Each structure stands twice: as C-alpha cells, then as structure tokens.
Chains A and B, each alone.
Chain A
Amino acid sequence: MKKFKYFLYFFLFLATLLLVGLYIVPGGKITYKQDFSKKYFNILGGRGFFYKMGPVERLIDKNKMIGDPLYFYVRAPRSFSQAIMTIKYRFSSNDLIKTNYTNIETGVLLDKNNWNYNLYPVFNNKLNEIFSTWPLIKNEEVVLAQQNKKFSKLSDFVEHNDFSTSVFYNYNLNYNYILPNYQAKTNETLNISNLQGSYSFYTYIKDENLKVDFSFLNKNNKNNQALSIFVYYQNNLIFDESLKPDIFSLDSPVNFNLNLSNLPEGVYKVEVKASDDFLTPSLISHNSKLVFINRVWFYDLKNGFTLWSNRNNFKIKSFSAQCLNKISINEENFIIDEIYKQFDFSSTIQNDLNKITSKSCGLLIENNALFSLTPESFFNPVLNKLNEDTDLNSIDTIVANYREPLKEGDYYVSEIKMDLSSALRDDSGYRFIISAPFLKNLNPEEYLEIKEIKIEFVGKTLMEKIKEIIKKNDE
C-alpha cells in the first residue's frame, strides 16, 4: 500500500520537474510538432502549441488553405533566437503549380502596429523550374543560376555591377546605385501633404545634405505609441529618432527636421514607423528625388492627387465614405464604391511610368511598387525581383537565397530557418504567417493542404543565461 502511495507521489514530483523543465527549456532547444491531418481527438493530450489557425473562412477541413494569407500562433514559453520550421504540404492538383506563378512564403510577426512580417521562401515554381534546367553555382544558401554561364563565382557576378538582366529572390545585394548625370537642386523642394500611418521612401543625394522637414500630428489622444524615424544607407541603419507620445497634443503638429550632412553619394531609405493614428500633414523634401516604397496613404485631400508608379496594377482601399470616388490609371477609370474593401485595379496599358489620378479625398494605394508625386522626382534604385511578371526569356541571371523543397510522395517538405531575434513574442507566443497569393479566389477546388508543421526553437541555454546575468551584475 505504502509503495503504491510513494510511487504516485514520486510520479507527480517527476511530472512537475519535467513540466518545469519543458517550460524553461534548459538546453536551449525544443521542438513542437503538429499533424494537422489528424481528425481524431486525443483525450489525454493537451491543447498543444499550435493554435488559432485561420481565418476559418480561408480553411476547409481545418488544414486546407483556400485563401491567402493564413495565420497561426505557436505558444513559446520563453524567447528564442531562431526557429527552424519544417512544413509538409501538397497542392490540390499539379495543374495549380503548372498554370500559376506559385510562390509560398512563411514568416513571423515583427511588429504589431504595422503587422510587419519577416518572410522566408517555402516554394517557388519558377525557381524550381530554373534550378532543374539552368547551371547553378551554390554559395552556402545562395544560388547563382545562369542561362549562359558567364561567372564562375557569386563574387564575380556581384562585382561586375550591371544587374539590368538579373533577377533577385530573397537576396539583398548591398550595391551602390548611382544615378547618372544627377545634380542636386538646392533651391527646389518637394512638398507632399496629408500622409497617414507608416511610410518609407528612397531619396538620392550627391554633394548635398539629406534634408526632410516633417510635421506630425497625433489624431488620437489615447494613442500611447511612439513615432520612429529611421534612415538606412545600403541596408545599414545610420540614423534613428523616436518621438515619444507625450510630446504630441491634439491639433498641434510636431515639427521634426531631418538634416544629415557629409553623406556619400547614393540612395538612402527613410522609414517613418507610426501607428495609423499618426498623420503627416506636411513633408518637405529638399532633395529632388523621392519615391515612396510599396504604399501611399492619403487623408483629407482637398483637390485629389496624382501619383506616378513603375507598376500599372494596385490594391486600393478607402476608409471613408466621403472619399469614395473614381481613380484613373493611365487614363483608364475604376470606381471605388465601398469602404474598407480592397479593390484590385489593373490598367491594360503598361508604361515605364504609369500615371494614377483621383479626385478622392484619401485612399490607401499599395503594391510591390514605387510611387512618386512628379515624374521628375521618380527614380528606381530597386533591383529586379522575381515575381509573376518576370519573363524568364528576358533575363540571364538569377540570384536566390532559396532551398528547393524535397518531395515525399505527393507531399513537398520545406525547411526554413527564421531569425527570431527581432520577432514579437507576447502572451500568445509567436505569430506566424503562411502566404500563398495564388490562392485568391476562395475556391474549394484549389487548395494548399498543410499536413504537418514542425518548429524547432533554438535559443540560449540555462547556463548561458545565468552567465549573462552574472556578467551584467558584475558590470
């Protein structure tokens, strides 16, 4: 009888120790796995680590994705620096990958204010095709694919500095873009008014200061988030400033003058990170070249707007009934007649520079594109990226940081290494995204079945953490 009693209490003690160990993860590594194809309920098992997979209207049979994107959370008891995700999936039919540009990405949430995700490639049918037909040069994770072999090393390609017929995928090349025949116009300014929320833009300088005068307004006195300004040169942060919420009062704009001197000639990226409650009533650039990256959101405009972009198709949304209006892209008219609905408009005409005009008082215009307010201020420092419009016959080189998925029967298996050092972890854990833009019609016949996801979290061991605390205390 006593033996039975001791056995039970010893078992409970062991179970408690094991659970605490699984929470602290003393070895710094832990793997969570979920088979989403299992339909039965494990009566003894807990609720697991993967949850809130959805939105539910984009899923059928709990694991077949019919809409884009899909989100899920993974409970993580502590912070980790890296996640190695292994995802097993298959397509509803092979025609889906043969007829469409099939690009699947996954990522982790970095910032809840802007819903900013760090995305990593999972599957790309164009790259899979290229990898099986073109000669490849592999340099660790990076692959250089050439239609006609010209370079024997990746470094040779990077140094030759002409990327007009090259395409990049998930690879950031640090190169110095030079605008030929550029001359600074010191007496001219670019005035941009009534921008809402976050935005980022490229500007070009040569023998001049990087000078932008901002005026910011906080329209919500309950907003307690800071507004941050970052400046990058060749992907390196060279300036950052945070404007705390207590300096903002309603109806009185806060002025901020960005003025950086002694900078080398080149492209600079300026990023304004702010919640949607922040407005920029006025932005005056003293540099003549300025292009917004991927999105422009106007509010309270009196005479509408004109934009110029390198793309002819956009996602457009109105947040106010008063601003419902028509928009013209290359003189083709489109109607925005619903608020909060995202319209996909595409002009049949593709110019080098496409004109977008509207009399609307405010719209959010998005695409993987660049936008300028005048044709003169437009420039394109962005390297060609692999996308659905890429014509493989017109390019000769592709540089991709991409690993081809393995094939297991009908299923594909991809392994993705993610950096979690800047990922957001809250009470719910880490929030992940699976992006499959080819699934846009919510058609139950076309789906991506996610069979299994395994995530190995890697972080500091208990000993490393203790040593770090001791070191901090000593300092």
Chain B
Amino acid sequence: MMNKIIKYNYILFYWLSLAIILFFVLEIIFPGLVLAYFNVNILVFLWLINLLVFIFKKKN
C-alpha cells in the first residue's frame, strides 16, 4: 500500500514539475495567459508538499 502511494506520489511530482515548467514557458511566450485563468501558486504548493513527502520518506 505504502509503495503504491509513493509511486503515485512520484507520478504526481513529475507531472506537477512538468506543468509548472510548461506554464512558465507559456507565460513567457503568451504573457498573461496562464496567470489570468489559473492560480499557479496552487501547483507550486502541491509540488512543495510532494517534495516534502519525498524528503520525509527518505529520512525514514
């Protein structure tokens, strides 16, 4: 069960990383596009939580 959660966590982490990079690039190419529709802080917040989970897991 724990392994499954960690695997999902990995998928989510890479997906969130890609989404943040993609939105960053989109924002540079089309200024104002992403930020007008979507609060990117949520993505960054979720990405940070994922990262903390990894760090916590590694420590244990």
Is A160 positioned at the interface, with any CB of B under 8 Å from its CB? no
Is A40 positioned at the interface, with any CB of B under 8 Å from its CB? no
Is B18 positioned at the interface, with any CB of A under 8 Å from its CB? yes
In Å, the complex CA distance between A22 and B32 comes to 11
B4-45 interface mask toward A, CB cutoff 8 Å, 1 = contact, 0 = none? Answer: 100110011001001100100010001111111111001000
**Contacts A4-B11, A12-B22, A44-B42; A19 near B32 (Cβ below 8 A):** no
Q: Which residues of B contact A47 (CB under 8 A)?
A: 35-36
Task: Say whether A44 contacts B38, CB under 8 Å.
Answer: yes
Q: How large is the interface on A (under 10, 10 to 19, 20 to 34, 35 or more residues)?
A: 20 to 34
Nearest residue (CB) in B for A24 is B30
Task: Say whether B36 contacts A48, CB under 8 Å.
Answer: yes
Task: Say whether A77 contacts B11, CB under 8 Å.
Answer: no
**Contacts A16-B26, A19-B26, A77-B30; A8 near B15 (Cβ below 8 A):** yes
- Say how far B47's CB is from chain A's closest CB, in angstroms: 13
**Contacts A1-B11, A4-B8, A16-B22; A46 near B35 (Cβ below 8 A):** yes
**Contacts A1-B11, A4-B8, A12-B19; A46 near B30 (Cβ below 8 A):** no
Is A150 positioned at the interface, with any CB of B under 8 Å from its CB? no
- Say how far B48's CB is from chain A's closest CB, in angstroms: 16
Is A182 positioned at the interface, with any CB of B under 8 Å from its CB? no
Is A239 positioned at the interface, with any CB of B under 8 Å from its CB? no
Task: Say whether A75 contacts B18, CB under 8 Å.
Answer: no
Task: Say whether A44 contacts B39, CB under 8 Å.
Answer: yes
Is A409 positioned at the interface, with any CB of B under 8 Å from its CB? no
Nearest residue (CB) in A for B36 is A46
- Say how far B46's CB is from chain A's closest CB, in angstroms: 12
Q: Which residues of A contact B37 (CB under 8 A)?
A: 19, 22, 45-46
Task: Say whether B34 contacts A46, CB under 8 Å.
Answer: yes
Task: Say whether A43 contacts B36, CB under 8 Å.
Answer: no
- Say how far A46's CB is from chain B's closest CB, in angstroms: 5
- Say how far A332's CB is from chain B's closest CB, in angstroms: 53
Q: Which residues of B contact A4 (CB under 8 A)?
A: 8, 11
Task: Say whether A8 contacts B11, CB under 8 Å.
Answer: yes
Is A321 positioned at the interface, with any CB of B under 8 Å from its CB? no
Task: Say whether B36 contacts A427, CB under 8 Å.
Answer: no
Task: Say whether B38 contacts A20, CB under 8 Å.
Answer: no
- Say how far B19's CB is from chain A's closest CB, in angstroms: 6
Q: Which residues of B contact A302 (CB under 8 A)?
A: none
In Å, the complex CA distance between A444 and B59 comes to 59
Task: Say whether A23 contacts B30, CB under 8 Å.
Answer: yes
A12 contact from B18, B32, B33, B36, Cβ within 8 A: B18
- Say how far A440's CB is from chain B's closest CB, in angstroms: 34
- 6 extra interchain contacts, Cβ-Cβ under 8 A, other than A1-B8, A4-B11? A9-B15, A12-B18, A16-B22, A42-B39, A45-B39, A77-B33
Listed in ascending order, the chain B residues whose CB lies under 8 Å from chain A are 4, 7-8, 11-12, 15, 18-19, 22, 26, 30-39, 42
Listed in ascending order, the chain A residues whose CB lies under 8 Å from chain B are 1, 4-5, 8-9, 12, 16, 19-20, 22-23, 42-49, 75, 77, 427
7 contacts between A and B (CB under 8 A): A1-B8, A8-B12, A19-B26, A20-B26, A46-B37, A77-B30, A427-B31
